[in-house]
Amino acid sequence: MNFDNARGALVQEARELLAAMEEALLEIESDGYNAERVNAIFRAAHTIKGSAGLFGLDSLISFTHVVESLLDQVRNGEQVLDGAMLSLLLTCGDYIGTLITAVEQGSEHDEPNAGLRAYLLGQLNEYLAINALPLPAAAPSQEVRAPEAAKFDVLEGEQVSSDLWHISLRPSVDVLRNGMDPLSFFRYLSKLGRVVYLHTLTDNLPGAEAFDAESCYLGFEIEFESSASKQEIEDVFEFIREDSQLQILPPRSLIQSFLALIEALPESPRRLGEILLKSGALTQHELERVLALQNAAPQPAPPLGTLLVEEQLVAPPVVSAALHKQKQSEERRVQEQVFIKVEVGKLDQLINLVGELVIAGAAASLSIKQNDQGAMAEANENVTTLVERIRDASLTLRMVAIGEVFQRFPRVVRDISKELGKDIELLVTGADTELDKSMVEKLSDPLMHIVRNAMDHGIEPSELRLACGKTARGALRLNAYHESGSIVIEVSDDGLGLNRERILAKAIEKGLVQADQALSDKEVFRLIFEAGFSTAEQVTNLSGRGVGMDVVRSNIEQLRGEVEVLSEFGLGTTVRIRLPLTLAIIDGFQVRVADETFVLPLDQVIECVDLADQQNLHELLNLRGEALPYVRLRQLFGLAPGIAGARESLVVLQCGSSRAGVVVDQLIGESQAVIKPLGQIFAQNKILSGSTILGDGSVALILDVPHLIQRASPSAGSIGSTPGSGQSKAAAQAANPIQ
């Protein structure tokens, strides 16, 4: 079944519904039973089943139907949603998630976990058996009700055995364009009876390049249980009947009626025969009778590979290899599809701005033809302003709320706290803070490591907390906010906090620092990010192997971010992650040293001062009574010496609460910088965050402010090094720039 064009939308919708189900279940567990939440869970399961039905995903349909049946009993008051059932439903949601992942990977016909499926179905069926409700059959029942021949206009002759109405619908390609939704007719049809089976045909779906979102390419084969008349069923489709192909066969119709149906429909007889057999409309014997009456259709041409092998033009392994490569290519293409939901208002704003840009462009062209210098300058200013506004509007399309990352942690905290036997409450704030979509997926692993460490090592058991005068329930907080053009994410706990002396002793034991080395708390806490570093006395399923926090630092630095730890022993720990808002375009501030141009993020530039008029010693500047460390870009990058006595400027930078300066030859001014990634040769260079192309075609390097501040500060040297007496780290490295 080919539905690659709709696969991404199906997967995204299903995952959002599963997330909503999980959130509602956790809210019920924490706040108690709520009928509205139960209804929301039921609707989510029902929608997933319905979407799966449109694409014939039988495994997903059958499992979700059982879950839906239990939820229906809960919302009708026939079952009590206790803790055991809630845990079962959460696990069922996880299993449905694996089925959705299989759909995304194109392996929807493979069972991802047969053992888990059998166990969950057994548990669900035990609940359902309490009220002796019939369980859903694998195939549509042919004993739904006794036939009532008096109600149907049944033709004379040999009849089929099905007691269900059969409806074949091929909507017009323009049905959506005319404002009609075929699904709405199915919902109305359900008021007359029960849709027992629905098969969606996607044979006419074109390729992506020819796909028209306003056209309908689908067909439907339906088995329908109802006591309504044929006229009443036809009236359901009254508004689309004239432009669509509609065939309705009553229960116990003649064999000849199905033969006429097959001949009237556009699909091949064998294709339709398979659908009729699977739906229960025809038995195998009845299908054979229909096909025997129908003129033998020409067999489809064998695949090209088969012909080449039969003619001995190509060896079988070559054909197999080619088919395997084609399948892999198709799987990669499907997996590379990424969908982002965009607010309609943002799209409207962007379209309006593009319209204004077209008008401004026309005005600019007219001023050029008229050689009007004043009008040309004004038009250029208008175009530049609109380009900036379009840039900002375009970037907002990529922005999503960080709640998309946070929403998975209530379940994580619930499960891990039960595993550890701890009482932990999760508090989430700032979930509506937006960041670039490209960062969302890459944040999950670092945050997961931090949360697991906080729960395992940070928050104490209830007995120990009570002995220390704390509440029995531990608190874990996720918080996000914007600050100075960055997004800050904090994971805080009110647990034991970090033991400075223990960390330092472990670092000395592993040779990371010298025993006589004086380190600040910030430097000591930074040691936990070293590879293989752990103070855990016992390795658990969650942590203790010394790999988690190393992964955190590595992943955050790949996103051009920084991570720091704040802790007070006995009171708790906060891990703070700071990331740029976007990885695409920034407002920059250009500076020049020798013949090289550098770009600094504008929102991290505080001020510029004339260095010649300042008194400084050992690369520390007295800036209005405050000691400000600085670094010279000339020395840092090993550029040619400047002219003796030339005036220099100092750019003051700030990241978080830290400040430092960089010394440059010339201040150029503000500019927009489109960030281009650097090659692997610069992968280990922490000072550079990217590059950009200037207006004259030359390349400028974009500097990473957090690492510049670390390089400038005397206390920011790497752990394990011993700065020279009276020297800053930047001065000590002047002879070996950009290490």
Angstrom distance (rounded) from CA 2 to CA 520: 61
Choose among 530, 534, 578: nearest CA to 554. 530
CATH topology of domain 4-130: Four Helix Bundle (Hemerythrin (Met), subunit A) (1.20.120)
Residue 533 near residue 550, CB atoms below 8 Å: yes
Residue 448 has a pLDDT of 87
pLDDT in tens, 412-464: 898 888 888 899 999 999 988 888 877 877 888 888 889 988 898 889 999 99
Residue 83 half-sphere exposure toward CB, CA atoms < 13 A: 4
Token pair 């041409």 is found at 301
Strand partners, 572: 568
Angstrom distance (rounded) from CA 495 to CA 485: 31
Q: How many angstroms separate the Cα of 428 from the Cα of each of 229, 403, 476, 477?
A: 56, 9, 9, 6
Residue 525 near residue 535, CB atoms below 8 Å: no
Q: Which letter does DSSP use for residue 561 in this model?
A: -
In this prediction the pTM is 0.56
608, containing H or E segment: strand 605-610
390-405 average pLDDT score? 82
pLDDT in tens, 334-375: 444 556 777 788 888 889 999 999 998 888 888 888 888 888
659-664 average pLDDT score? 89
- Which superfamily does 401-580 belong to? Histidine kinase-like ATPase, C-terminal domain (3.30.565.10)
Radius of gyration of the chain (CA): 34
Residue 737 has a pLDDT of 38
317-329 average pLDDT score? 62
The model's confidence at residue 477, banded by pLDDT at 50, 70 and 90, is very high
Query: 332 or 531: whose pLDDT is higher?
Result: 531
> Which class does domain 585-732 fall in?
mainly beta
> Which class does domain 149-293 fall in?
alpha beta
Angstrom distance (rounded) from CA 518 to CA 529: 19
pLDDT over 60 (residue 31): yes
Residue 558 has a pLDDT of 77
- Look over the chain and give the mean of its residue pLDDT values, rounded to a whole number: 78
pLDDT above 90 covers what percent of the chain? Answer: 9
Q: Which two tokens stand for residue 60?
A: 């997903």
pLDDT over 50 (residue 134): no
